[in-house]
Amino acid sequence: MSDVENWVVPHQGFNYLPDTVAVTAAHQVDKLLACGIDADIFAGQVDPAFFIGIAIHAGINSGISAEGNINMLQSLRMHRPVLLDEALMVKGQILAVTEVPRGLRVATDVWFEDAHGQRVISAPRTSLRPNPRRAESKSHSADVTDKDKDKYKAKDKDKGAGERPQPVVDDLSALAFLASYQLTPEGVRAYSMEGNSIHYEMEPAQKAGFRAPLIGGGMGVHFLMAELWQAHKHSGGPQAFDAEIYFRRPIFWDDSVGVYSRADDQTGWNAMALLKEDAQGKQKVGTEISLKLFKPGLI
């Protein structure tokens, strides 16, 4: 349904159309190569970051447009590792739709079941469906009259998207550096899938108020998952985890990002973050993960 003209307006209780999906070895190699990641790190398992994008496209295929939408909070729970080419049933439901000053805040539960009907991946998320007039006023402020600017300013007095969760990482000095990646427009285009052109075309991104296309949240999570698997590759990789992922700042298609972890003596890693430099050259959190549960493989 990705080419339908009459998209469904998100509403509480909307059920996704069930579908069968699988991540093939070739797909994983191609998409991770676009990120600059060696797919061999995952040793025959699927990088769970793929299910963020697959969940979004399940909504598109059910008639919910993703154009211009921004993923704000993503939960990602791996109940067990998923094997390459393993067929899974994807299901989903919109749990709540809330009006906020910037548009609609949409809470969705999406999950993936195996052949036995057991959940293997859960990927609920909260996203922002921006008010298009607000985005237009932000990106074309030079083309409107002073009267129009006053009108937009009055309407956008509170520019929030709802409650903002507290930072996971509030002390950057507690983070340990793991790796760095340089994003390129070519790589981001090669990774991105149709459905939300702010990730691969300049004009829609600027109309949405961004200086350039920004990577999809799932693309950034690949960098974090690669380092998580790399750290546990000698024990067979993670066997289960429960992560809360927060997309704090846009990461643009030409940014450099660093991957960092935070650990304590008892449980090991409890947080990860993607850092980028702001306009003043200061490190800022782009994406951060709270690892609420982590089960490593057996040595």
3-class DSSP state for residue 33? helix
pLDDT of residue 133: 54
CA 269 to chain centre: 21
Quick one: average pLDDT of 195-209?
89
Write the single-letter amino acid at 61: N
pLDDT band at 1 (very low <50, low <70, confident <90, very high): very low
DSSP character for 231?
Answer: H
Q: How far apart are CA 36 and CA 238, in angstroms?
A: 21
Quick one: average pLDDT of 123-150?
58
Q: How far apart are CA 180 and CA 244, in angstroms?
A: 22
pLDDT of residue 139: 40
Q: How far apart are CA 58 and CA 40, in angstroms?
A: 27
Q: How far apart are CA 148 and CA 33, in angstroms?
A: 46
Residue 159 has pLDDT above 90, yes or no: no
pLDDT band at 112 (very low <50, low <70, confident <90, very high): very high
Residue 246 has pLDDT above 60, yes or no: yes
Residue 163 has pLDDT above 80, yes or no: no
Residue 85: half-sphere exposure toward Cβ, Cα within 13 Å: 3
pLDDT of residue 264: 83
Residue 144 has pLDDT above 80, yes or no: no
Residue 152 has pLDDT above 90, yes or no: no
Bridge partner list, 162: none
Quick one: average pLDDT of 208-232?
94
The mean pLDDT of the chain is 87
Quick one: average pLDDT of 237-254?
94
b/e code 132-170 from CB counts within 10 Å (16+ = b): eebbbbbbeeeeeeeeeeeeeeeebeeeebbeeeeebbe
Residue 167 has pLDDT above 70, yes or no: yes
- Structural domains of the chain, ranges and CATH numbers in brackets: 19-295 (3.10.129.10)
pLDDT of residue 279: 82
Residue 75 has pLDDT above 50, yes or no: yes
Percent of the chain exceeding pLDDT 70 equals 86
Percent of the chain exceeding pLDDT 90 equals 69
Q: How far apart are CA 146 and CA 53, in angstroms?
A: 40
pLDDT tens per residue, range 254-263? 999 999 999 9
**The model's pTM:** 0.85
Residue 107 has pLDDT above 80, yes or no: yes
Residue 235 has pLDDT above 60, yes or no: yes
Of residues 181 and 194, more confidently modeled? 181
Write the single-letter amino acid at 157: K
CA angle 56, 250, 189 (to 5 degrees): 60
